[in-house]
Amino acid sequence: MSSAPKKSPVGKRQSPAVPPAGEDKQDSAAPRHLPVNRYAIYLTIAAGGCAADLVSKQLVFDWLGVAAPFVDPRDPANFGRWRGDARLDHLWWLWDERLGVQSSLNTGALFGMGAGGWPIFATLSLLALLGILTWLFVYRAAHDRWLTVALGCVTGGILGNLYDRLGLWPNAGLRPEYQHAVRDWILFVWPELKLRILNPWPNFNIADSLLVTGAIMLIVHAVVWREKEPKAERGKAETRLSKEIRISKHE
């Protein structure tokens, strides 16, 4: 039997009924544009997280001030400006000896590493933001709602700490080396565990919490969703094969 394509009654070749290998009709018909709600989800989480971080920092530092080692001693008025509530000594316990609010400044990154390297951290933050926006909205990763939420959290955390590293917050009267520091205020202690890192855990803020949340979500996505992808691809291949079999039976 000839394998040449059949001709129609008017002598024209009929187009193949089966899509070429590697193509899927449903995939080709998928919308190219991102849903508007993906932009809304991302911007709401990023802007809301950043705002919560910056407002909470300002409220805590206006209330508690900072400890004397952070203050520039050349002007005595600086100590009064950063004294805060004189009854609390820059610390207030929400749960005694467990969870508290304590103002602190971090000139480095995680666990204070890279102290004084704020220009490097600020540059890396800007590059990370550019990468996130490109991934989500140029390569359309925002079609995945989980990724959109995760990267919205990461963006909010980056923006909150980047604001501090650029020295945009009210920092007059502090030592010069702390004027580009990140403001931390959440204190966590667990004295029963004989781990030095938990007694206390290094102070952190809402931006750090957003970064950790986003990172955990990305790890979950990588572990869980990537394992499902091959199954989805097999399902598409089986669907295409069954279509080809049905069409061949009718020919």
**Catalytic residue (one of 27, 53, 164, 184):** 184
How far is residue 180's CA from residue 55's CA, in Å, rounded to a whole number?
Answer: 18
Active site residue 53: no
Q: How far is CA 131 from the centre of its chain?
A: 11
Backbone angles phi, psi at 24, to 5 degrees: -135, 130
Q: Which helix (H) or strand (E) holds 181?
A: none
Q: Which of 118, 114, 138, 146 is nearest to 42 (CA)?
A: 146
Q: Are 152 and 210 in contact (CB under 8 A)?
A: no
**Catalytic residue (one of 62, 72, 96, 208):** 208
Active site residue 208: yes
Coil, strand or helix at 229: helix
- Which residue bears the tokens 């009854």? 87
Q: Is 212 exposed, middle or buried (0-12, 13-18, 19+ CB in 10 A)?
A: middle
How far is residue 27's CA from residue 40's CA, in Å, rounded to a whole number?
Answer: 25
Catalytic sites, residue numbers: 184, 208
